[in-house]
């Protein structure tokens, strides 16, 4: 009663006196009636895990309808059988150790053990699937005895044992068969500790997830229409079978592009238009490259390699009964991690694919290398060693465009460059807009950074590697001495500090003497008023740093530092002129080798394994060019260096002017485009793009529409910006 009185009292206090709500009628809620004679409903959730079953409980049952009761009983029986097998194996500790596997020399025994362990893995998988189903649909209590953790550990041990067994079987197979010795040199016998082998944890994660993933290569293969196995070899009430089947189907969907018929094996129709035929072949080249890369992956992974020996195609390989979840997951991971360790294999795949294009037959890859060095894998060929020839321009085009370039692609591709000519071709393709600029090129929306990027592209087209451009550009009001908070100890005087930094460019030239390299070095050496050049040559990729640097444009007594400062006392009013002795914080040589405060490029790359040249496997001649005028933005230095390169190439002469620079850059671009894109079918050529400012390529330029537009906006427009914004002194 007290509560009721309280409510009434409060209600009277808040009584509405306006009359607006005096006659408001409350909504009528219909009473909920339940039929006491209706049968109770099934408590099971449907497959979505949210909707409750609408059927009544089966006669004699307690919680489930007839269908779900039957499903639950079968699932529980499978769970009991699988759990009993897991406990039995764990109790007897029957999994072979790595030492026992290494002593086994019988292929039949290894195969028998592998099949038995796969049965054990399948039992673990069934138990895990059963527990997940019970928790999701049948309201099983959460796993409090850490059974799932135990199952995950056991699966990891079992998969590691299978990996060791497959690697052992592969080595025995290569030793006993008459296959040439090159197979061993090409085949990488990977164990669980190999850097190239996917981790067991990653394999288990992908296998148990069921493949809610999209393979990187699938985006290049277009819409797939391959037919996946549709027949389910289990009853509709076999929930475990349905669950595992759906997971494998989702994983298989990522490899539809491998199951499709090979367009290259289709004979072109007689009399078909040549332009259409050539274009279609190049458009389908991406899918073919991924198939060749898949063969490279299978050849190097022992478990996949052994299962591919008696298979004639990818369809036979992937849809075979012995292709387990873990094999599928491992194959998936190795295909998806192309940029991590698969770039050399991908390069070979591109070269092999381009060899097929003129003939339209997959078997033509047998002629790419020495017949003694080839091996058949799923209807195609792989070779004992990577292709060491200089990559043609069309190979670089497909390699770069198919990779869907990440932001820092150029250093990764250094790994597949066998010569400085390869580097030059790669940089030219990047300068034409097919790869994004490296992060050190700055913000594309900044005018100064855009000028620096355009200059770097011109240097790349000349064959000069630019690995970094650095400056600490200061606003005009912050240039010169700045007052400090250090007391001077004298009246009306202030301690002023002056900081001086110089922009610099890190790059590389060919280590072999050639006309352009000598001409370029002479150009920069002839202008000591603009450049200070440091040269460090290496004779091998693993050479020990000897810190012997050749300085051009300065003597040891006049060499300029990269960073220095000084402090002096001057009146507080006005900005004084600095005086006194400079303290060098970072010398020019320190840019290469570092000091106690600042790491050097070469030392940092060697110690940390990171840097622009980390993946380089050929000797080069490093250079650092410093701006002689301090506190300027590096775009000024980059433009001056680009003009020196254009003069060395023969495209420019005399003093710098924006008109001369623009004309020389256009001529360079035209020559490089004609050279690098000459492989394109002539039907792809264009005469001119009307309404677009930039380079005019004449009557029949060897450049495609896509390349033309990207080049014009990538270089021509940036050159126009440079002309109007920056006028370097030459």
Mean pLDDT, residues 357-365 taken together = 51
Q: Can you tell me the distance from the alpha carbon of 396 to that of 216, in angstroms, rounded to the nearest whole number? A: 19
Q: What is the CA radius of gyration of the chain?
A: 35
Tokens in use for 608? 């940390």
So what's the pLDDT on residue 236? 53
514: left (phi over 0), alpha (psi -120 to 50) or beta: beta
The pLDDT > 90 percentage for the chain reads 1
Cα–Cα distance list, 520 to 288, 643, 664 (Å): 42, 10, 15
Mean pLDDT, the chain, whole residue set = 70
Answer yes or no: are the C-beta atoms of 285 and 401 closer than 8 Å: no
Asked whether residue 271 carries a pLDDT value surpassing 60, the answer given is no
The token duo for 587 is: 């010398």
Q: What are phi and psi of 300, to 5 degrees?
A: -100, -10
pLDDT tens for residues 379-409? 777 765 666 677 888 888 888 877 766 667 7
Q: Which of 172-186, 370-384, 522-536, 670-684 has the highest mean pLDDT?
A: 522-536
Helix and strand numbers (H, E) in the chain are 27, 11
Phi, psi angle pair for 86, to nearest 5°: -65, -45
| pLDDT band (50, 70, 90) for residue 719 | very low
pLDDT tens-place string over residues 608-642 = 556 677 777 788 888 888 888 888 888 888 899 99
Q: How far apart are CA 215 and CA 231, in angstroms?
A: 24
Residue 57 clears pLDDT 50, i.e. is over it? yes
**Around Cβ 128, how many Cβ atoms within 10 Å?**
17
H/E element, 396: helix 393-402
Cα distances (angstroms) measured from residue 591 to each of 431, 503, 520: 26, 11, 21
pLDDT of residue 238: 59
What per-residue confidence (pLDDT) applies to 352? 80
Structure tokens given for 124 = 């673990």
Question: What are the pLDDT digits (tens) for 62-107?
Answer: 677 888 888 888 888 888 888 888 888 887 777 888 888 888 888 8
pLDDT for res 274: 55
Query: How far is the C-alpha of 620 from the C-alpha of 205, rounded, in Å?
Result: 43
* pLDDT band at residue 689 under the 50/70/90 scheme: very low
Q: Give the pLDDT of residue 252.
A: 67
Q: What is the mean pLDDT of residues 213-223?
A: 31
Tokens of 253: 């969907």
Give me the residues paired with residue 495 across strands: 569
- Average pLDDT score over residue span 116-143: 77
């Amino acid at each position: 009663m007290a509560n009721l009185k309280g409510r009434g009292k409060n209600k009277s206090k808040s009584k509405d006196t306006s009359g607006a709500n005096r006659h408001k009628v409350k909504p009528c809620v219909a009473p909920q009636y339940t039929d006491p004679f209706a049968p109770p409903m099934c408590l099971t959730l449907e497959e979505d895990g949210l909707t409750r079953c609408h059927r009544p409980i089966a006669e004699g049952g307690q919680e489930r309808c007839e269908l779900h009761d039957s499903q639950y009983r079968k699932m529980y029986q499978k769970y009991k059988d699988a759990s009993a097998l897991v406990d039995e194996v764990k109790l007897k500790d029957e999994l072979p150790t790595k030492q026992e596997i290494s002593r086994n020399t019988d292929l039949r025994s290894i195969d028998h053990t592998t099949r038995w362990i796969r049965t054990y893995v399948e039992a673990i998988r069934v138990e895990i699937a059963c527990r997940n189903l019970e928790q999701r649909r049948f309201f099983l209590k959460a796993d409090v005895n850490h059974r799932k953790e135990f199952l995950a550990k056991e699966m990891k041990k079992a998969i590691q044992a299978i990996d060791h067994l497959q690697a052992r079987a592969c080595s025995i197979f290569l030793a006993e068969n008459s296959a040439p010795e090159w197979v061993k040199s090409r085949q990488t016998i990977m164990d669980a500790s190999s850097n190239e082998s996917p981790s067991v944890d990653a394999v288990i994660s992908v296998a148990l997830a069921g493949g809610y993933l999209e393979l990187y290569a699938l985006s290049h293969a277009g819409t797939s229409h391959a037919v996946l196995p549709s027949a389910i070899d289990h009853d509709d009430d076999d929930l475990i079978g349905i669950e595992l089947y759906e997971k494998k189907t989702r994983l298989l969907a990522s490899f539809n592009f491998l199951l499709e018929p090979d367009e290259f094996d289709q004979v072109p129709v007689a009399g078909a238009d040549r332009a259409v035929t050539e274009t279609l072949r190049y458009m389908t080249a991406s899918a073919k490259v991924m198939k060749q890369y898949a063969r490279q992956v299978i050849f190097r992974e022992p478990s996949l390699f052994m299962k591919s020996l008696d298979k004639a195609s990818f369809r036979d390989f992937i849809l075979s009964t012995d292709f387990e979840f873990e094999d599928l997951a491992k194959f998936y991971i190795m295909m998806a991690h192309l940029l991590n360790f698969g770039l050399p294999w991908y390069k070979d795949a591109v070269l092999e694919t381009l060899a097929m294009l003129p003939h339209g037959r997959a078997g033509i890859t047998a002629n790419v290398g020495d017949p003694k060095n080839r091996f058949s894998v799923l209807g195609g060929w792989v070779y004992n060693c990577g292709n060491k020839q200089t990559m043609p321009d069309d190979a670089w085009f497909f390699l770069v465009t198919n990779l869907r370039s990440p932001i820092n692609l150029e250093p990764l591709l250094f790994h597949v460059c066998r010569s400085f000519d390869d580097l030059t071709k790669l940089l030219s393709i990047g300068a034409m807009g097919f790869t994004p600029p490296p992060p050190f090129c700055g913000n594309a929306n900044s005018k100064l950074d855009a000028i620096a990027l355009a200059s770097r592209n011109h240097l790349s087209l000349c064959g000069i590697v630019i690995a970094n451009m650095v400056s600490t550009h200061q606003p005009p009001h912050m240039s010169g001495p700045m007052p400090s908070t250090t007391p001077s100890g004298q009246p009306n005087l202030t301690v002023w500090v002056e900081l001086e930094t110089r922009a610099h460019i890190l790059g590389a030239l060919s280590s072999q003497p050639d006309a352009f390299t000598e001409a370029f070095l002479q150009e920069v050496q002839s202008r000591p008023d603009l450049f200070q050049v440091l040269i460090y040559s290496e004779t091998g990729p693993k050479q020990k740093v000897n810190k012997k640097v050749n300085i051009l444009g300065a003597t040891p007594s006049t060499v300029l530092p990269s960073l220095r400062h000084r402090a002096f006392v001057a009146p507080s009013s006005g900005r004084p002129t600095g005086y006194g002795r400079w303290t060098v914080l970072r010398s020019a040589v320190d840019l290469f080798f570092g000091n106690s405060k600042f790491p050097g490029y070469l030392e940092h790359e060697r110690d940390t394994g990171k840097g622009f040249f980390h993946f380089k496997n050929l000797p080069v001649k490093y250079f650092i060019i410093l701006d002689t005028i301090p506190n300027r933005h590096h775009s000024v230095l980059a433009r001056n260096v680009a003009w020196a390169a254009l003069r060395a190439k023969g495209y420019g002469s005399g003093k710098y002017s924006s008109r001369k620079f623009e004309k020389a850059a256009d001529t360079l671009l035209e020559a490089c485009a004609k050279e690098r894109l000459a492989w394109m079918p002539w039907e792809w050529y264009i005469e001119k793009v009307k309404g677009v400012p930039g380079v005019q390529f004449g009557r029949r330029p060897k450049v495609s529409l896509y390349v033309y537009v990207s080049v014009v906006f990538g270089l021509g427009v940036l050159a126009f910006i440079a002309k109007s914004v920056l006028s370097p002194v030459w």
